[in-house]
Structure 1
Amino acid sequence: MDKTIAAVKALIEKEREYLFVGVEYGDGTIWVPPGGKVERGESPIQALNREVQSETSLKIEPGRPIGMYHFLKGEKDRGDQVTLTLFETNKVNGNVDIETDHAKEDGITDYKWMSPEQIRKNNITDTLRQLLEQEIF
C-alpha cells in the first residue's frame, strides 16, 4: 500500500552557495539538500539534526521553515509520496564528510556547494526548484 512519508531537509548556506548531496536515483544522480525521513516519535527538528549529522557530519542549528515540496518515490503511477519541509539553518559546525555508513546506505555519492545558477543547471526535482525560485532566489 502506498503511503505518505514526512521528511525534512536543511538549506545550508555558505557565502551564497548551498550544500547539496548527490544521490544515485534511477539512471543518474539527483541533487538534494541534506536531510531525511522523520521517524516515529521524533520531531521534525530532531529528525533534521539527526539526518544532517549522519549524512554530512555537520552539526546545525535549524532556523525557520522555508516551505514544503513533494515527490513520488517509485514508479510514475505507484509508490510513496514524500512530503518534505525545507528549513533554513542559523549555524553550522564542522566539515562535510559523506563517507559515513548512513550516507552510503542512503546512496549519497557526492556533495557540492552550489550557487543559485549552478542549482538551476543541476538535476533537482521540479517541486524543489519551484520552492527555491519562489522563496530563496
Structure 2
Amino acid sequence: MKKPIPKLNRPRRTPGTKAGEVRLVAAALILRPGEAGDEVLVCQRKPDQPMALKWEFPGGKIEAGESAEQALKRELNEELGIDAEIGRPLIRIRHNYRNGGAVDLQFFVVRSFAGELDNRIFNEMRWMGFEKLPHMDFLAADLGLIKDLADGKISVS
C-alpha cells in the first residue's frame, strides 16, 4: 500500500493554477530605441508575491470574454498606467509547471503608448538590451524567449 505524500513535501501550486489547468496570459515586449538597438522593459516581482523577485515582462491573465490584445491593454493600464498600442503577436509559448498546472503565454510587441510609466505593482522596472536579459533571474516560462531574443533568433522588427 502506497503511503500518501506528506503535505509539506507536496509541490506548491502557482496561486490560481490547479493541476491540469492552463492559465491564459498575454505579455508585452514594450520597446524603445536605445544606443545599441532596441531596449525592452522588464519588471521584477515584489518579495511578497509568488515567484518572488523574479523578472518578467508586464502583462497578465486573459479574463473570460477578452481577446489576448484586450487583456494586455487592460493589464498594462492596471500595472503601468499606460494606454498601449498593442502591436503584432511575437510568439506563443506553453510552459508546464512541476505541479501539473500550465501557462499559455502570448507575447506582443508594443512600440507606442500614451502616458508616463507608473510602477503600480512591481518591485523594480528596468530598460534592458536583449543581450543582457539572460543575466537576469527570469520566470522559467520566459527563459526560452529570453535566450532566443539574446541570440537574435527572434526579431521584434
Which one is further off, 109-118 or 47-56?
109-118
Choose the corresponding residue for 2:60, options 36, 40, 45: 36
How much has 1:130 moved relative to structure 2? 3.9
1:18 aligned to 40, 49, 56, which one? 40
Residue 116 in 1 paired to residue 139 in 2? no
1:51 partner SS: helix
In our comparison, the structure showing a higher alpha carbon Rg is: 2
Match for residue 154 of structure 2? 135
Residue by residue over 1:53-96, the C-alpha shift from the partner in whole angstroms, topping out at 9 and shown as x without a partner, is: 111112111111000123345xx2x1420110100114222221
Alignment partners' CA distance in 2, 1:111 and 1:47: 21
* TM-score between both structures, scaled by the size of structure 2: 0.71
Match of 1:59 in 2: 83
Aligned-residue Cα RMSD (Å) equals 1.9
SS at the partner of 1:13? strand
Q: Which runs of 5+ in 2 are unaligned?
A: 1-17
Q: String of CA shifts for 1:26-55, please: whole Å, max 9, x gaps.
A: 4x5211111000001111111010001111
Q: Which runs of 5+ in 1 are unaligned?
A: none
SS at structure 1 position matched to 2:24: strand
Q: Which residue of 1 aligns with 2:116?
A: 95
Question: Match of 1:112, SS?
Answer: strand
Residue aligned with 1:36, SS: strand
Matched length: 126
Runs of 4+ residues over 4 Å off in structure 1? none
Q: Which residue matches 2:102?
A: 81
Distance in 2 (alpha carbons) for counterparts of 1:53 and 1:11 = 15
Give the percent of matched residue pairs that are identical in Structure 1 and Structure 2: 28
